[in-house]
Chains A and B, each alone.
Chain A
Amino acid sequence: MPFDDEDLPPASLNSASDDAAFDAEDGDKAQDFRLFTSLLAGPGKKSQASSKAIRRGEKDFESHGTRAQESVLESSRSAMHEVLSYTRQHQPRNALRGWYFPDRWADMPPESDSTADATTNKQSSDRSTKSGDPVQGLFARERVVALESDKGTMLSSMGRVITSAEKSTPGRLKTWLLPEEALFLIERGTLDLWWPARGIEEVFPADDGQETSQMNAGKLEDYELGVPLSLQAAYALFIGRDGERGKISLEKYQVYANLRRTGYRVLRATPLILQSPSSQTTRSLWQWLFSLLHNTSKPRYPEYGPLVRPGLYRSYVPVFEQLALIQRHKPSPLPPSEVPQPEDPFKIHFYVWKSTSSFMKTKPPPPDFQMAVVDARDSSIPTLEQLDNLLLSTPWDPPRNDEGKHGAGFVYKRLKHGWRNAILAIVDRGLISYMRFTEMAFGEELLYENINVRPKAKRGGRGGRGRGGGRGRGRGR
């Protein structure tokens, strides 16, 4: 099919490999360690494994008893061994040490309140500029780990300094991590988590200068201040149920860690503004819109048909217009005050950015993807209201304006692009399946009005372009 090969890799475009579609669909493949070793092999080292291009869609390691295959297998094995036996060194200057202070910011306002204040104080309505607001996305209440230093490339998209606290409070100028960020760094081996035996004043004394961490390290011995924690302890501290302060549910952490490992930048989604229950007005507005739509062209429908009244028709447009009976969806941008509040599993939890875009964690650009996390066992597929509310809370993203183009490919493209979209991460006990849901509107594409929409008419009709006589629509109409 010529139109939906968006995600087919070029290698599998040949029609011979019927695994292509299946293969393209399989996002998660086993890693090829030979590629890794070629990365690891420095100028001095020599890698035994050749990193030749992988052939997709073939399982190579079903033994057929040839030595050639065995040597391939062996080289792959040795490559894997080489990768796994690679000594990872932690540079002392890159070592991060974090302290677990779960209650330091417990009295901060939760995120939704602060955003509501911020938005009412500052710009009132524009949702796109909201993400630029520094208070937005801070989640001070949820931040439970304070870092001693803020060096390292990992921190370009994690951790925040909480500046809104009063001066000379301990930990004010430190970088504070959210539980999922801390856990990810610990799992990665970048962060050492410590349990403080003393109060925060002693761990971070006189917290208004730059040189504090060096000084207090000199003052008190490490183990007088606290004890290091294991990864298990970190899991126990950070994984919890939804809604617990300073914790994150296991599903969300798994999605977060998966996306981070795959190379995305992920931040928690800022909740929508809580508004006064004005859903009544939105409902009436919708009804008003629909009534308007129907009042303008309200033919009297014959009760038992036929809807198309017998008569002489000069084109098919009035024929199909008489057939329009069932209410169609008309997507429209909603002002932010009327966006309904989505219910919990089906709401945006993470904003996701591609790794290529330039990124500032204090002022992130508009996210590339909006992601909700759903447990596959606890929830069933969304109802219309859940899905609608979820999508209404995502930004308005209509298809690009190529109205003049009537080909089938353009129709497909516009319809598939949709008007709003969100990604659902469905987690089934650790396995994550991402699904993109898009709000569509077939009613926006009136196929019967397009002359050239039939895909093959272009190629097949050399002499038949000008359709006269008993043909559907006259040229001049």
Chain B
Amino acid sequence: MANVENPAHGAPGPETPPKSGHHKQKQDKASARPPKVPLHQIYALPAPLRTFPLPSFYPNNPLSLFHVLWAWTSQVLSPPPAEPSVIHQGHWSPETRSVHIRDPKSIRALWEQGFFGKGNYSRSEPNWLKREQSRQGQGDKKVSELVTVQRREERKMMKWDRARKEQEAILKTRLEEAWVAPVGPKELLALPNSLRELHMSPLGGLTNGHTTRDGLSHTTATQTQIDSTRPGVSSTNIPSPLVPELSVNGDLIDETAKVPFPQLNGDYPHSPSETPTTKPVGTSPDIVASTLKRRKSVRFSPTVESTTFQLGDPPSPHIGSSTNGKVPNGDVNHGAQSLPPAVDGDPSEVLDVPVAPESPAASEIVDREHLQLTPEEAFYLVFGLGALSVIDPASGENMAAQNLFHLFRQLSYFPHKMASLRPDDPFLVQYAVYHHFRSLGWVPRPGIKFGVDWLLYIGGPVFSHAEFAVMVLPAYTDPYWKSQGQGPPKKSWQWLHSINRVQSHALKTLVIVYVDIPPPTQASDPAALLKQYKIREFVMKRWLSNRSRD
């Protein structure tokens, strides 16, 4: 659901989060601070609690003893408020099944101190306001989403460029091969169209190229034949001969006529860089319009290299603004003008930002984003750390931990169960895993985008990519479940392989977590209940027999 990193193909090195992180600041101090704040200072606290360590004592520096003493006495005399000193306010939203945090300070605090929740307009970090400001040109705030979009764009262009170069190389070899001249008369006769030519015009039989070059009127007659026989020989981008006006354009005829017997003309350049397709050709509009439907080639602008398509070409990186679809009206001007944005697209256009109702005159943007917490996150903050209190929208009062616990367990069933909650209900199982990894210092975040239950970050998503992807499975090892005939859900090997394949593609390691479900007990308080759960982790990885041999 929420992660800053870019899962695509696991480009090595987490570039995006750190870059953008340098610009993340507490909003109230945005202008006061120097622009570069190290990441680990912004995200110093692993939990929304503060600690008050005593300064260290250095034996070789006796003065430091006084430092320690001073800190100690000052803390004793005027003790800081008991932590957690700030209890954030959350609102339970029954429609979205999440807890909303609306106070901007709480949003920043919960994000920076433990990476809880997700901005409802953002992929992960709640930075809609910053994105919006940078979109409107207020300040040069970099947001990770924009950087990601930009990098994706660059990668797309890179791939597109690579594919284009490949196609060009193929075309080049193809043309080079087509340029080989037939040597002897026998070979010439064996060529597909020369025999017929021979019958038609005994004079110009061998030197077809000369004939077409000399007389333009003759060209129109023969060109049809040339072209109809061409597809087997070469399939370069040659405008269709269906257009009768083609003869008007000498340039085009030159090209088409030369391809079968190029060497006979003698004066034609041999260098492949000036091959017909890559040469910018100025053609009249109507030709372009009528030929487009037959061949996927657009040849009316100097940027013809990047917009000439073969049938086998990879699809355009800009599907929306592809020029191919727009031209057939014959409106060449329109088509030519639409080219530049296709080449260097504005990344901000691609980003789908929910646009707030704003008047163009008003420069002040109201932050309309809130932080949303999953039930597991909210319950951990309430039950584990005590740093959150959730308000029931119906009554407007604080919900106690047991009410929340009960509510989340009920809601995890579909349809909701009002009574007879089982010890293996989905919320309990998932929360046990969440609490387990949180209590060890990991940052678990929902992993639905990777087809798993949780992703584990070692310091938080701004520091590095998640290394582990966690899939949760219940286990029923207790004799009670055996007597009940209750077993774990039977999952096929194909299921496991598909999950593992996704993880290895995203350079993550699949961890299968079994939650050993205790038998039902009378205990209903979360502490006593959760203490009975046991967590077992297993790594799964494909073993490649031809890579592990030696």
Contact = CB atoms under 8 A, between A and B. Distances in A.
A475 B46 CA distance: 17
Interface string B507-522: 1010100101000000
A219 to B, nearest CB: 46
A298 to B, nearest CB: 10
A277 interface: no
Contact of A66 (B46, B174, B477, B544): B174
Contact of A435 (B53, B459, B525, B540): B540
A385 to B, nearest CB: 5
A66 B312 CA distance: 14
A303 B528 contact: yes
A305 B384 contact: yes
A448 B440 contact: yes
Interface residues of B, number: 117
Interface stretch (B76-84, B90-98, B134-142): B76-84
A380 B490 contact: yes
Contacts, number: 339
B441 A385 contact: no
Contacts of B463: 454-457
Contacts of B530: 325-326
Given A354-B548, A356-B550, A308 B40 contact: no
A312 B467 contact: no
A69 B169 CA distance: 12
B11 A15 contact: yes
Interface in A186-238: none
Contacts of A22: 505
Given A15-B11, A327-B534, A434 B544 contact: yes
A166 interface: no
B51 interface: yes
Contact of B492 (A16, A328, A355, A381): A381
A477 B38 CA distance: 24
B420 interface: no
A59 to B, nearest CB: 12
A1 B493 contact: no
A233 to B, nearest CB: 29
A470 B50 contact: yes
Given A1-B10, A454-B458, A310 B83 contact: yes
Interface string B463-489: 111011000010111000000000110
Contact of B40 (A65, A324, A460): A460
A-side interface size class: 35 or more
Interface string B3-20: 000001111111000100
A263 interface: yes
A325 B509 contact: no
Interface string B132-150: 0000000000000000000
B299 to A, nearest CB: 21
Contacts of B382: 305-306
The winner among B235, B458, B487 for most chain A CB atoms within 10 A is: B458
A307 B49 CA distance: 13
Given A27-B542, A355-B550, A65 B534 contact: no
A11 interface: no
Interface stretch (B54-62, B197-205, B210-218, B256-264): B54-62
B251 interface: no
B53 A315 contact: yes
A313 B464 contact: no
Contacts of A7: 544, 547
B526 interface: yes
Nearest to A22: B505
Interface string A2-14: 1111010000000
Contact of B440 (A67, A423, A434, A443): A443
A476 B540 contact: no
B312 A316 contact: no
Interface of B: 8-14, 18, 38-41, 44-47, 49-57, 75, 79-80, 82-84, 158-159, 162, 170, 173-174, 177, 235, 312, 382-387, 400-402, 405, 432, 435-442, 458-460, 462-465, 467-468, 473, 475-477, 487-488, 490-497, 500-501, 504-507, 509, 511, 514, 516, 525-528, 530-550
17 contacts: A2-B13, A7-B544, A21-B10, A21-B504, A301-B527, A306-B386, A310-B84, A328-B436, A416-B541, A434-B545, A438-B539, A443-B440, A447-B458, A455-B458, A456-B40, A457-B463, A474-B55
Which 6 interchain pairs have the tightest Cβ spacing? A306-B386, A476-B56, A447-B441, A474-B53, A384-B475, A454-B459
